[in-house]
Amino acid sequence: MPFQKTIRLLFICLISGALAIPLAEGVQARQVSHDAVQPSLFAGSQAKERNPGGALLRSFAVPGWGQYYNNPDSWRRGQYHLGTDLALLTSWIYLHTNSGVLQSNMYSTANAYAGINLRNKSRAIEIAVGNYNSLQAYNEAMLRLRNWDRLLDDVPENQWNWQSEDRRREYVTLRDRIDRAERQIPMVISLMALNRVVSGIHAFMQARNMNR
């Protein structure tokens, strides 16, 4: 599915950001004495100065981490970003899981009441099964509309015939719910990315102001 590629790309970006934190801090780090307390990657509460680039990348990886890095004793803004990210992540997991359950139910309904196995079938066939009571009715409609390129092969694996109109409507309802869930997933991923950008910019500006 397209959204799976999107989430993989997002996770790759987050991992790259996390791995880039030590590099960014190494470029801007100052020389410290041998007995100085080294700042922790997660907190750095003892450091007198904060690395704006490190704060930025932390919040890109985990929203709110940059604010915590800047000031562990007062990072309420970071808590808002972290809470938002957890809520969005929970929404993504729910939508992804619910879409899978609905799809399984849709396949079972088509198999039990229309006699067709839709697994590994194209979306065009899934839509046709929902819009027409049988393969014959579908192909006849395509011929009337002169949509010859949309005709389906009259082979056993493409045959379906709904037992009742109610079962067909049940199938259509399931398919529509899957479509809604899959449309919402990219929006949730976009909000997760936006939350990281806003958190990162705020952490960067906060660190820079603290160093003045």
pLDDT value of position 62: 96
pLDDT value of position 48: 59
Query: Residue 62: left if φ>0, alpha if ψ -120 to 50, beta else—which one?
Result: beta
Q: What residues of the chain score a pLDDT lower than 50?
A: 1-3, 18-20, 23-24, 27-46
pLDDT value of position 43: 47
Handedness of CA 132, 136, 138, 141 (dihedral sign): negative
| 185-127-155 Cα angle (round to 5) | 135
pLDDT value of position 212: 84
pLDDT value of position 112: 97
pLDDT value of position 65: 97
Q: Compute the distance between CA of residue 108 and CA of residue 177 in angstroms, rounded to an integer.
A: 15
